Structure 1
Amino acid sequence: MTARSDRRYSTNNNPQQLLGSWFKKNNKYVLPPIVAIAFFAIVWQLLCPPGSKGLPGPMQVIADTWDPYIINPFFDNGGTDKGLALQVFASLQRVAIGFSLSAIVGITLGIFIGVNDFVFRAVDPLFQVLRTIPPLAWLPISLAAFQQSNPSAIFVIFITAIWPILINTTVGVQNIPQDYRNVARVLRLKTHKYFLKIVLPASVPYIFTGLKIGIGLSWLAIVAAEMLVGGVGIGFFIWDAY
């Protein structure tokens, strides 16, 4: 009895069998991305053979970045000479600060504008114009205002991410079903309870849609901004490598 249980336990916990069983269950999800990446790498290598001028192939990229960026991504020689992991961490830190500020301001303003029709009609034309301005167009203004590269890059992230969050939150508040509003009036809910029980739950799907769009735009903006302002970050790392 014990020997049979031990054999069953050792068989079920064989790493190769566990890996094979997992791959069989998930091959329809794992295999297509692997095939797509391999196809992309092969086409890239064929278009950029060794010794050709211009864009290097994937094999050359791996060879050039293997030491020290891949095998030692945390090295720090001072200044901007840092490992790939530290460069990415610096960019993620800026994104976290800028996106958090945009989420706080965007959700707060969106709720305030959504519940007040007069304020919405007053600021909507202005917001519709400002949101069409390209993110990098704000960079000279932020550099003139802050006089430093790091706050300027954070401001670019903030101004890029705030518009989808603000607009989606406003739309979510405005689309609260009238039945919910009527129930709030019948129950005579106080202002804070109305926001907590009615406004926030009803607008959460719209808010998260804005947050999802905003975080994607934030990452795009920080890479482009860091290419221009310099310093430690994945954007300047790419530009400096070029």
Structure 2
Amino acid sequence: MKSSLGARAALVSLFVLGLILACWQIATLPKREASHTTMTAEQIEYAKLMGQPTPDQRATQRHDGFPTPSQFFAVAADNLAHPFYDRGPNDKGIGIQLGWSLLRVSGGYLLAALFAIPFGFLIGMSPLLYRAFDPFIQLLKPISPLAWMPIALYTIKDASTSAIFVIFICSVWPMLINTAFGVANVRKDWLNVARTLEVAPLRKAFQIVLPAAAPTILTGMRISMGIAWLVIVAAEMLVGGTGIGYFVWNQWNNLSLPNVIFAVLLIGVVGMLLDLMFARIQRKVTYAE
């Protein structure tokens, strides 16, 4: 039954993809001028001198600059064929740019996990600490991560490290809140049994509380990764240098719209793969009651 449903879903997805490509192709068809548009020989010569299109050129050329599907796939194939070239600061392959972004996300995300999970575990097990720190969490959580960028640049004085700090500050809150919530809502029956059996606190934390709270913790980690990958693109547009966000901004400045579209779709693909990775881990730690 599940395999049949998956096959039908795949067919629907392929149909939707084909529909999108067809609409894209139709929307980028060459626009032709009315056939009655005529110019004298002198007007045609003047148009060529001024760099303006002649009637024949208007009939066969597009001027809005949006790529056709074939133009986009040609650019995508070229980027994927040579992903790791390095021709200077402003001309690096998409593989290098993507690697820098993933490196920054990994650094900030791991720092957030090392802080948020133990601290969330601590305040989740203590109602006193939970109430004491909740106002600070609720105050800092809504602040846009990019609002921290000027402060980070001023204090750290390094663009790449500042981007890692921004990833840290945006990743820490979902992990912290979900860890504290998951730990605080472990079933009381299990804790009472552990208390009756006089289980040591450390053993209770690792063998009872942590497995019970693991699905909620993984949910927070999954949300944090999605936010981190979202924020790194905007952060790299601000700090420049390297990264997929900088690649998008640089290609826009070069008026290379096919490269911009390719990078945007690649960002989506990488984000989807990261989410699927966490979804698979989450299923492994989720139990059925």
Give the TM-score normalised by structure 1.
0.83
Distance 1:134 1:57 in 2: 36
Q: What does the per-residue CA deviation read over 1:120-149, in whole Å, with 9 as the maximum and x for residues that have no partner?
A: 111111111211111211111111121111
CA–CA distance in 1 between the matches of 2:129 and 2:184? 13
Question: 1:2-151 residue pairs with structure 2 within 5 A?
Answer: 27-49=7-29, 51-53=62-64, 55-67=66-78, 69-151=79-161
Shift in Å, 1:166:
0.6
CA distance in 2, matches of 1:48, 1:141: 44
Identify the range of structure 1 (28-37 vs 96-105) with the bigger mean alpha-carbon deviation.
28-37
Please identify, of 107-116 and 41-50, the stretch whose mean Cα deviation from structure 2 is larger: 41-50
Q: Could you give the per-residue CA deviations for residues 45-104 of structure 1, whole angstroms, max 9, x where no partner exists?
A: 33344524264343333344544x232112122324211111111111111111111122
Cα distance change on mapping 1:86 and 1:201 into 2, 3 Å:
same
Distance in 2 (alpha carbons) for counterparts of 1:199 and 1:124: 21
* Equivalent in the alignment of 2:54: none
Amino acid at match of 1:44: W
The counterpart of 2:166, out of the listed 147, 152, 156, is 156
| 1:215-234 alignment runs, 5 A limit | 215-234=225-244
Distance 1:145 1:105 in 2: 21
Q: Secondary structure, in 3 states, of the residue corresponding to 2:106?
A: helix
Larger Rg: 2
How far the C-alpha of 1:26 sits from its partner, in A, is: 6.4
Q: Could you say what the CA RMSD is over the residues aligned between the two structures, in angstroms?
A: 2.1
Identity %, equivalent residues: 43
The structure-2 alpha-carbon separation of the partners of 1:181 and 1:232, relative to structure 1 and needing over 3 Å to count, comes to: same
For structure 1, list consecutive stretches of 5 or more residues without a partner in the other structure: 1-23
Residue equivalent to 1:188: 198
Distance 2:177 2:6 in 1: 39
Letter in 1 for 2:70: M
Distance 1:166 1:183 in 2: 27
- Structure 2: stretches of 5+ with no match in the other structure: 31-61, 253-289
